[in-house]
Amino acid sequence: DYEGFIYLLNSDRAQIDIYSPEGYFLTWIQGDVNTFSEPVAIGINSRNELFVLEKDGPSLFIYDVHGALVNTH
């Protein structure tokens, strides 16, 4: 993102791993039955929101910088 954090799609575990700008693991965003279960792509927009694209849907889940789900499409 624009602050240097690194987001890694871990599709085997249906989660997004989050690392510090220095490369240290911080936390993750876990998919569940109400959100993504088979993520295929991620991206960051100009507001530092994380976009997660779901394989079957297609569905798009949008998270804020704190990892809270803010919107779906």
pLDDT digits (tens, 9 = 90+) for 4-54: 999 999 988 999 999 999 999 999 998 877 788 889 999 999 999 999 999
Q: What is the pTM of this model?
A: 0.88
pLDDT of 58 above 80? no
pLDDT band at 73 (very low <50, low <70, confident <90, very high): confident
Burial of 60 (0-12, 13-18, 19+ CB in 10 A): middle
